[in-house]
Amino acid sequence: ITQGLPDPSKVMDEILAKYPTKIARKRQKSLVINEPGEGKEIQANVRTIPGIITQRGCTYAGCKGVILGPTRDVINLVHGPIGCSFYAWLTRRNQTRPAEGEDNFITYSFSTDIQDSNIVFGGEAKLKDAVREAFEIFKPKAIGIFSTCPVGLIGDDVHAVSREMKEELGINIFGFSCEGYRGVSQSAGHHIANNGIFKNVIGNNNKDRIGKFQINLLGEYNIGGDAFELERLFDEAGITLLSTFSGNSTIESMEYSHTADLNLIMCHRSINYIAEMMEEKYGIPWVKVSFIGAEGTTKALRKVAEYFDDAKLSAKVEEIIEREMKKVEVVRKAVKAKTEGKLAMMFVGGSRAHHYQDLFKEIGVTTVSAGYEFAHRDDYEGRDVIPSIKIDADTRNIEDLTVEKDIELYREDLAVKKEKLLKSGYEFSNYDGMMPEMKKNSLVIDDINHWETEKLIEYYKPDLFCAGIKEKYVVQKSGVPLKQLHSYDYGGPYAGYEGAINFYLEMERMLCTRIWKMVTTPWKTDPEIVGSFAIN
């Protein structure tokens, strides 16, 4: 990786030199020159230094936008000023497919739109009215209530209101204390959402078995239609997908998700808590998989077949793999011939900055620098990392959930099965952390900011930068194409086999055009923005 590339320690030095000493000392711990196998540590999941322009979002975004947002038949009512609701409205490109006559509330934006007078006199009455109004108009099966920053500051109790309204209206109503400031990032919101769904939804319906091989898919949010592609594969294989948390999902399917035989986890960062609580309460084992990349998809499908240990299922899975890989290989080869040797960087969320490196590898593109916005140390360093005890921002202020030891009929069977699989060498994780899987000397940076981004681009001149909407235009104006790995811009699906093909073709389009070399960076010739006012 060092061939023809700048010395990473020089890049790091120059980045840090600009900061005041104290800040430099702090930031230094979040910038690592990768050395797989050397047990290097990275500082992650800590507060962003005030004044720095971070990529991160807030706790409310993680709870309402990320985890609950993609479920179509629950009304997600935001208790807060209208801006919080407006900025979380349809921006994530999570898709859904309601059946004929089924509810879909995703296209709506529900908010109490609190005003100054509510801040002074309290907003609970307004919240109750909003719940009643939403119920009157839409007759939903469930309503989730989400607190935003000002609500936490004035002390409205969304849990008490939820209980009262549940009693009054006779439907499932539950609240989330997910005020934006509660954690250091979205990550705390994931945790709050996981606890709330586990406590209020999972286990509410003991539905009879509907398939021979029943699974849930956790941490898949159907961005750009990813879940549709995975549903296609499971359907054909004869694997029953009971519930997805939460892409293309219904609250109803979550209610009986505890009757599954196995949980697959895609994005471990956002949903490991539910997986662990489901294992503890219902005995359902979980396997960490990634369906990003054709190779990863093959590995994941085989993991499921291996788990169920059924000859017919395995044969079917192999048949699908063979057929799909034939199609994938044709496109992959053609694209790789043009993209081999190109350099990419990716700074995204809490799992994609790692998962997408697989797709790039498949077409010969190297990731020279990468990092997450809000992941924890285990996401970087690998599965054996002991969580940092110093700052556990995620669990701070979160009501302690006691999992009652409610033994389901099949719980013991599953535990015995897990034991047997472990003895036979079955691995419950399909991938490791970001750092063990990245090349030596690549630069790993947690919670990157604009200054650091600018320097990376200047030094490495990457062929492609992957991040989100806030970074997109600054990077493009520097003459480097940017692919949004959050919303996929207008593309997708990118998961599974069809997704891999879509992604290869998109990369061919983005990496092989010469248009970016023709961009004149505006601030290079015109560093100051001059404004003028028209005065009448």
Query: Which stretches of the chain bind ligand CFN, using CB under 6 A?
Result: 62, 66, 92, 186, 219, 221, 223, 267, 269-270, 348-352, 486
Of the residues 8, 44, 45, 65, which one makes contact with ligand HCA according to CB under 6 A:
65
String of DSSP letters for 53-114 = -B----HHIIIIIIIITTBTTEEEEEES-HHHHHTTSS-S-B---PPTT----TT--EE---
Q: CA-CA distance, 41 to 462, in Å (whole number)?
A: 26
Give yes or no for a contact between 484 and 348, defined as CB atoms under 8 angstroms apart: no
Q: Would you call the peptide bond into 351 cis, given omega within 30 degrees of 0 as the criterion?
A: no
Does position 92 bind ligand HCA by CB under 6 A? yes
Question: Which residue number, 149 or 223, has a Cβ lying nearer to ligand CFN?
Answer: 223
> Which of the ranges 149-157, 199-207, 391-399, 481-489 carries the binding residues for ligand HCA, by CB under 6 A?
481-489
Nearest approach in angstroms of CB 60 to ligand HCA is 9
Q: Is 97 a catalytic residue?
A: no
> Which of the ranges 276-284, 287-295, 442-450, 463-471 carries the binding residues for ligand HCA, by CB under 6 A?
463-471
Q: Is 268 a catalytic residue?
A: no
184-214 burial: b if 16+ Cβ within 10 Å, else e: bbbbbbbbbbbbbbbebbbbeeeeeeeeebb
Give the CA distances from residue 321 to residues 90, 216, 295, in Å, rounded to whole numbers and listed in that order. 34, 21, 10
Q: Which is the catalytic residue, given 190, 191, 355, 376?
A: 190
Does position 85 bind ligand HCA by CB under 6 A? no
Q: How many other CB atoms are found less than 10 A from the CB of residue 152?
A: 20
Nearest approach in angstroms of CB 189 to ligand HCA is 9
Of the residues 334, 470, 477, 516, which one makes contact with ligand HCA according to CB under 6 A:
470
Q: CA-CA distance, 518 to 513, in Å (whole number)?
A: 11
Does position 487 bind ligand HCA by CB under 6 A? yes
The partner in contact with residue 148, picked from ligand CFN, ligand HCA, none with C-beta cut-offs of 5 to 8 angstroms by kind, is none
Does position 269 bind ligand HCA by CB under 6 A? no
The partner in contact with residue 352, picked from ligand HCA, ligand CFN, none with C-beta cut-offs of 5 to 8 angstroms by kind, is ligand CFN
Q: Which is the catalytic residue, given 92, 182, 354, 376?
A: 92
448, HSE (Cβ side, Cα atoms, 13 Å): 30
Nearest approach in angstroms of CB 45 to ligand HCA is 15
Nearest approach in angstroms of CB 317 to ligand CFN is 25
The partner in contact with residue 90, picked from ligand HCA, ligand CFN, none with C-beta cut-offs of 5 to 8 angstroms by kind, is none
Q: Is 58 a catalytic residue?
A: yes
Contacts of 187 (CB under 8 A, 6+ apart): 45, 62, 269, 270, 350, 374, 375, 376, 393, 394
The partner in contact with residue 470, picked from ligand CFN, ligand HCA, none with C-beta cut-offs of 5 to 8 angstroms by kind, is ligand HCA
Q: Which is the catalytic residue, given 44, 58, 88, 260?
A: 58
Does position 486 bind ligand HCA by CB under 6 A? yes
Q: Which is the catalytic residue, given 27, 44, 61, 268?
A: 61
Q: How many helices (H) and strands (E) does the chain have?
A: 22, 14
Question: Which residue number, 281 or 486, has a Cβ lying nearer to ligand CFN?
Answer: 486
Nearest approach in angstroms of CB 390 to ligand CFN is 22
Write the binding mask 421 to 440 for ligand HCA: x where contact by CB under 6 A, - elsewhere.
--------------------
Comparing CA positions, the residue from 244, 202, 239, 205 lying closest to residue 227 is: 244
Nearest approach in angstroms of CB 163 to ligand CFN is 29
Give yes or no for a contact between 257 and 215, defined as CB atoms under 8 angstroms apart: no
Does position 450 bind ligand HCA by CB under 6 A? no
Nearest approach in angstroms of CB 68 to ligand CFN is 12
Question: Which residue number, 267 or 434, has a Cβ lying nearer to ligand CFN?
Answer: 267
Give yes or no for a contact between 66 and 193, defined as CB atoms under 8 angstroms apart: yes
- Residues in contact with ligand HCA, counted by CB under 6 A, come to a total of 13
> Which of the ranges 37-45, 57-65, 153-161, 294-302 carries the binding residues for ligand HCA, by CB under 6 A?
57-65
Q: CA-CA distance, 487 to 378, in Å (whole number)?
A: 25
Q: CA-CA distance, 292 to 303, in Å (whole number)?
A: 15
Does position 109 bind ligand HCA by CB under 6 A? no
φ, ψ (nearest 5 deg) of residue 307: -60, -45
* Helix or strand run (H / E) with residue 381: helix 377-381
The partner in contact with residue 267, picked from ligand HCA, ligand CFN, none with C-beta cut-offs of 5 to 8 angstroms by kind, is ligand CFN
Distance of CA 424 to the CA centre of its chain: 32
Q: Would you call the peptide bond into 36 cis, given omega within 30 degrees of 0 as the criterion?
A: no
Distance of CA 240 to the CA centre of its chain: 23
Of the residues 160, 210, 469, 519, which one makes contact with ligand HCA according to CB under 6 A:
469
Contacts of 352 (CB under 8 A, 6+ apart): 267, 292, 346, 485, 486
Question: Which residue number, 219 or 496, has a Cβ lying nearer to ligand CFN?
Answer: 219
Does position 240 bind ligand HCA by CB under 6 A? no
Name all contacts of 46-53 with Cβ < 8 Å and 24+ positions apart. 46/184, 46/391, 46/393, 47/184, 47/391, 47/393, 48/184, 48/185, 48/447, 49/23, 52/449, 52/451, 53/449, 53/450, 53/451
φ, ψ (nearest 5 deg) of residue 343: -115, 135
311-350 positions binding ligand HCA, by CB under 6 A: 349
Which residue of this chain has its Cβ atom nearest to ligand CFN in the complex?
349
The partner in contact with residue 269, picked from ligand CFN, ligand HCA, none with C-beta cut-offs of 5 to 8 angstroms by kind, is ligand CFN
Does position 61 bind ligand HCA by CB under 6 A? yes
The partner in contact with residue 262, picked from ligand CFN, ligand HCA, none with C-beta cut-offs of 5 to 8 angstroms by kind, is none
310, HSE (Cβ side, Cα atoms, 13 Å): 12
Give the interface with ligand HCA as residue ranges (CB under 6 A). Answer: 57, 61, 65, 91-92, 186, 349, 468-470, 484, 486-487
Active site residues: 58, 61, 92, 190
